[in-house]
Every structure is written in C-alpha cells, then in structure tokens.
Structure 1
Amino acid sequence: MAAREEPDRAGSAAARDALREAILAGQYLPGERLVEAQLSDRLAASRFNVRIALQDLAAEGLVEIQRNRGAQVRKVSLEEAIEITEVRMVLEGLVAARAAERVSADQATELDEIGLLMRRAVTAGEYRRYSDLNHRLHALIREIAGHRTADGIIETLRGQLVRHQFMLSLLPGRPQTSLPQHEAVIAAIRDRDPKAAEDAMREHIASVLEALRSIDALSNQDGA
C-alpha cells in the first residue's frame, strides 16, 4: 500500500497565495479550467498541495470545483456582484468609521499622499495607476482600522469581483466620479470623524452599485 501523502501546510499555503494573486491579477479568466498538473509546474508545488490550494480557494469563492470536471475560476454574475457590493458597503463603512477613530498622524499623512497621487493619475489619464492606488487606499484604511474579521471578509468579497471591477474601470468618467468620493473619505478619516467617514465610504460604494446597475441595464438592452 502506498504511503499517504502528509499535508504540507506551508507548501499548500504558498500555492494558494500564488494562485489567488494570479486570479486577482486576471491571469486566469472566469470559467477558465485550472488543471492540477499545469498548476503544479507553474507554482513549483506538488499536485497534493495544488489540490489543497484549490479547495481553499473554492471556500473563498474564487474557484469552483465540479465533480468529474475539475476546477475552474468561478464566474460571478452581475446580479451576484451587486449583492456582494451591497454587503461591502456596510462592511467598508464600518471599517472607515473605525479607521477615523484609530488613525495616527503618520497614517493621515500617508492617506493624503495617496489622495494626491490619485488626483495626479486622473489628471494624467493614467487609469491603471489610479486603479492600483484605489486598491492601495482601501487596503490602508483597513490596516488603520485593524478590524481583522471585516478585513478578511472584504478581501474575500473583493476577490470575487475582479472581472466586474475591470468592467467598471472601463466606464467613461468613472475615475473622475470616484476621485472626489475617495478624497471625502480621506478627509473624514484625517478629521477623526467616524460618522462622516462611514457616510463618505457608504456614498462611494453606493456609486459603485449604481455603476454596476448601469452595466446591467446596458447588458439587457444589448440582449433585447
């Protein structure tokens, strides 16, 4: 009888993190098959660790595993994306309020610097850079808040919205709309005003919802 392979937590965690990063970066598209043998070569990981990594990412909602068909990047419908964003609105509002209570002077300065870089990116039409700064800003706010439970949930939800976030970034005028919203969030956190920070963040995420619904409406028109 062949010896049963023992779990390698470090190896499977490394494979999981690398694969998650690749999916979030768009290197694997929704619906694309994730073949264990190919992933094993790409990630320099054993098939066993790749299998565990896929199971972990399935639990996060990034991967779907179907019996007799293997794993694939999970497709998230626009309707589900809207529901996920509704949950994000509540959680990110909570996190922004907590960040306003806990922000240090150095962290406030870092928020200001990101806000300035975001404005420069929009002025220069560097929308990919703006998108990267957007992610950096939200990550910093979560770091300041230090709410581990909310942080983990938000990161998992964000991962499921990668394709829809890309679609949003292509909407004409979207960066110009979201920039002042981000600046309002930054200002409220710097002023240590939890209510204003929560309101500003919820207003920002509400505009994301509105944009997603506009995409949904356009899709329905195209299919009519």
Structure 2
Amino acid sequence: MSTPSTTSGTAGTPVGFDVTGAIRDALLRGEYVPRQRLVEADLCEQFGVSRATVRTAFQQLAAEGLVEIQRNRGARVREITFAEAVQITEARMVLEGLIAARAAERISPDQAETLRGICADMAKAVADGELAEYSDLNARLHSRIRDIAGHETADRLIEQLRAQVVRHRFMLSRVPGRARASLPQHQRIVEAIASGDPVEAEAAMRDHIASVVEALRALEASGTRRVETPPDL
C-alpha cells in the first residue's frame, strides 16, 4: 500500500526501509491510541531516517485515513467515530461483495478445499472458545478469498478501509456470542464461493457485512467507547 522510503538510514536503517509501513504496522498493533501525537523527532531517532522521510510517511498515512496532520501541531493518530466506522463498513460491503462474486467465478477445486478447511478450523475455534484464534482465522479466510478473486484495486481499497476500523473490529471480536453468530455467515459465504455461485456468494458476503454494521450500531448504543490494546489481528 505504501512506497518504500529510499532514504538511507542514519542509525543502521537499510536503504529502502519502509518507514510508512513500519508506522502503519505500529498503528494497527495499537501501539498508539486515538488522538495521540506522533513525535517527528522520536520517529526519526527510532528508525534512523530524516525528518523529510517521516513527514512523507505522515502524508501517506493521512491519505489512508490513519493519521491527521494539524497545522502548527504536527501529526496525530486519527480517531474514527462509530458513525464513521459504520460508513466505512457499508462501503466495504459493496467491495467485499464484488470480491466474493469474482472469487466464485475463479475458484479451483484445491482453493475450495482450502477455504473449507479454514472454515472448519473456525468452527473448532468457536467450539473451544478461542476468540483470538477465531479472529486470526477470520482474517485469513477473507485474505484467501481476496487472493482467489485477484481484484487488485478492490483488494487495496478494502485493506485501507479495514485498517481505519481496526479498533472497532477488535471491540466486536470481544462481544459475547459474536463469533458464534458470524460463523454460519462465513460458512454460507464459503459454500457459495466453493460451489461457483457468484450471485449467492455476493449476497452472502453482503449479508455478513450488513450484520457487522448492525453489530457496530449495537455496540455504540451500548455506550462502549474504550478498548484495550488490540492484538495483531
């Protein structure tokens, strides 16, 4: 998603080191909290790069909606409201539906078995109460579906949108019963794709993402606002 820096490091950082990617990864791991200031000098020292390189990274991350640049105050982590998270997820619904339909048109028998295997592991994780494992498998399943679809533009847009709502996704993963409710939705998606039915695959994916929208709205209504540092989802 980002262009690697070509500035050579001043503290052993290799030429071509992706500063933008490193900061993005830290944001997605929850190393920074919403509205936290990103100190330019600290990042220069941490990565051994110039201020110009860090500023370029800030500009890229601002374009991705992860950082906001304040006049005369520098950059800080952008806070995504529940209302915006809902809109982002609604946009994802269209893109993910497109991806599912395309995957159904392109899937091979071996790929179908791979998706079914991941889904079986998800069912086991739910039965065992392994929420973190379920979350990892969920991400892996959606990633494999995007790989099968091979739609680079939609894939890039989805990754950008997902990055913006990482904390909200983590909150949803902790809602009691959420994994058990989403499992049959994923099973329906996988069977439609594996069966080569693009119409049903798109409908199943859109229904699943619509349920995420409703869960976000319910989460907002419950008054949930804080979230512990998320794991690497």
With the length of structure 1 as denominator, give the TM-score of the two structures: 0.90
Other-structure match for 1:159: 163
Match of 2:202 in 1: 198
Tell me which of 5, 8, 26 is aligned to 2:6. 8
Q: Secondary structure at the match of 1:65?
A: strand
Residue of structure 2 in register with 1:100 after alignment: 104
CA distance in 2, matches of 1:176, 1:20: 31
Query: How many Å separate the matches in 2 of 1:105 and 1:119?
Result: 21
Query: d(CA) in 2 for partners of 1:96 and 1:61?
Result: 25
**Whole-angstrom distance in 2 between the partners of 1:19 and 1:182:** 31
| Structure 1 residues 57-82: Cα deviation after superposition (integer angstroms, max 9, x where no partner) | 10000111111111111101100111
Look up the equivalent residue of 1:107 and give its one-letter code.
Q
Inter-CA distance 72–123: structure 2 relative to 1 (3 Å threshold): same
Amino acid at match of 1:152: R
Q: What's the RMSD between the two structures over aligned residues?
A: 1.7
Using structure 2 for the length normalisation, give the TM-score: 0.87
Displacement of 1:30: 1.3
Q: How does 1:22-171 map to 2 (within 5 A)?
A: 22-171=26-175
Would the aligned equivalents of 2:89 and 2:213 in 1 still touch at CA under 8 Å?
A: yes
- Deviation of the 1:13 alpha carbon: 6.6
The answer as to whether partners of 1:178 and 1:204 remain within 8 angstroms in 2 is yes
Amino acid at match of 2:193: I
* SS of alignment partner, residue 72 of structure 1: strand
Relative to 1, partners in 2 of residues 1:147 and 1:116: Cα closer, same or farther, differing over 3 Å? same
Letter in 2 for 1:33: R
Paired-residue identity, %: 57
Structure ranking higher in helix proportion: 1
CA distance in 2, matches of 1:18, 1:162: 16
Which residue in the other structure is 1:3 paired with?
none
Partners of 1:161 and 1:100 in 2: CA distance: 27
**Aligned amino acid, residue 8 of structure 1:** T
Give, in whole Å, the separation in 2 of the partners of 1:18 and 1:79: 28
Alpha carbons 1:13, 1:53 under 8 Å: kept = no
Aligned length: 214
Per-residue deviation, 1:12: 7.1
| Structure 1: segments with no counterpart, 5+ residues | 1-6
Relative distance call for 1:54 and 1:190 in structure 2 (3 A) is same
